[in-house]
Amino acid sequence: MDRKALEYHVRGILEAIGEDPNREGLLETPSRVAAMLEETLEGTAYSNHEIAEMFGKTFESHCFADSEEAVVMKDITVFSYCEHHLALMYDMKVNVAYIPRGRVLGLSKIARICDMAAKRLQLQEKLGRDICEIISEAADTPDVGVKISGSHSCMTARGIRNASSKTVTTTFIGKFRNNSDLKKLLDD
């Protein structure tokens, strides 16, 4: 990311909304916002393949060899930004399930994959697809399911201002597509 450009444009936004970027409370705002964007949009710098490589640490597991059993991790907390309004997507909970093929991902790696994939401008539906793709590659399995529930400030804080609305998306690949028992693993 170009930090100097970010600072310049944040200063311009402050001026455009009628603020004085030279007043005491705003003097460091362009720098702070640039640092925040570098941190919260870090995933923009990586492809799904690179994230899979980064967090693809697996362990041999004989428990799952030739099995239809799944690893399920629920309530992974992430946040992201809507690409349409740059609005915060918050209170997001990600449930991930996959069927291992002789190897399992470290549990922290699943949460790290979800976190890094969320650090991009996007839509919730795309986030689910990205997490599925990354988990599939990292765990070397075609069988992955992802369910995401979250609030979108473009719905809760502006426009219709429906503060209690939640958006739920599901993404299923492999055996999760047609197996209702596997899909139920992702329910809350």
pLDDT score at 71: 95
Quote the percentage of the chain above a pLDDT of 90. Answer: 91
Per-residue confidence at 116, pLDDT binned at 50, 70, 90? very high
Which residues participate in catalysis according to the annotation? 82-85, 124, 152, 154
Nearest to 173 by CA among 137, 124, 120: 137
Query: What pLDDT was estimated at residue 60?
Result: 86
pLDDT of res. 65 = 59
Q: Is 35 exposed, middle or buried (0-12, 13-18, 19+ CB in 10 A)?
A: middle
Q: Given this model, what pLDDT does residue 179 score? A: 95
pTM over 0.85: yes
Percent of residues, the chain, with pLDDT higher than 70: 98
pLDDT of residue 21 exceeding 70: yes
Give the residue-averaged pLDDT of 148-166.
Answer: 93
Asked if residues 150 and 93 have their Cβ atoms less than 8 Å apart, the reply is: yes
Residue 40 CA to residue 11 CA, distance in Å, equals 19
Question: Does the pLDDT of residue 146 top 90, yes or no?
Answer: yes
* In the predicted structure, residue 181 carries a pLDDT above the cut 80: yes
Mean residue pLDDT across the chain = 95
What does the pLDDT read at residue 119?
A: 98
Q: 175 pLDDT exceeds 70?
A: yes
Residue 186 has pLDDT above 90, yes or no: yes
**For 35-91, how does the pLDDT look when each residue is reduced to its tens digit (9 = 90+)?**
999 999 999 999 999 999 999 999 988 776 566 789 999 999 999 999 999 999 999
Report the pLDDT value the prediction gives residue 66, as an integer from 0 to 100. 61
The span from the CA of 35 to the CA of 7, in Å, is: 9
Round to whole Å and give the CA distance between 83 and 104: 33
What does the pLDDT read at residue 31?
98
